[in-house]
Structure 1
């Protein structure tokens, strides 16, 4: 799969929009775009006692399903592996953790027309 500039731009814009959305709801962003050999975490945040790993999915239209439907079982497994690595690497101890998904649907001009925040999604 090739990533076009438009697709990369939509992804980055979606992550920025999601981070601002989470902050407005009281989340404290700890880290963005954490990368390791296993993969990447889009947003790591605190929500009360929880360390929240947030996967951001941005799409235009619904020709290929909703953004949240684009998270395959393989992707879920990879996210769990990266989160386990992150927890060990950052020494988070017994901090309760969860996975959220912020699914953003935008129009062809990049304007957000829908945002779904799915708590404890995985």
Structure 2
């Protein structure tokens, strides 16, 4: 007999993932501020998608995708989860931001910050910043 999951189980998993993501984004912002980045936007949204963090560093606009994963997860590392499709989505959304902010001529870079979280005590095990990731 196959055990069926309830809708509440699915909701709990989504809520847990959302909490992990919010925790990771907060940690990424703290990291960026410690490295003298100016955080301009968090969770900037438009019709085409969302950009986790938009920052400025040394005169360059930096679009940052944040991925947070629990340690020893089944689905690979946080950085590995930023696939080609996600990269394209971030690029398209960045174009919308650049037009809306009247910064179409800005120098830009696309980074990934991968946060690894300890399963047991919910502390950050690792924060990796991949500058110019795509």
Quick check: 1:111 aligned with 2:126?
no
When normalised by structure 1's length, the TM-score is 0.95
Residue matched to 1:40: 50
Q: 1:10–1:110: 8 Å Cα contact kept in structure 2? A: no
Shift of 1:5: 1.5
When normalised by structure 2's length, the TM-score is 0.86
Quick check: 1:76 aligned with 2:65?
no
| TM-superposition CA deviations, 1:64-122 (whole Å, max 9, x none) | 11101001111111010000111011111321000010000101132110110000001
Residue matched to 1:121: 133
SS class of match (2:103): coil
Higher Cα radius of gyration: 2
Whole-Å Cα distance in 2 between the matches of residues 74 and 4 of structure 1?
21
* Bigger shift: residues 60-69 or 71-80: 60-69
C-alpha RMSD of the superposition? 1.3
Structure 1, unaligned runs of 5 or more: none
SS class of match (1:116): strand
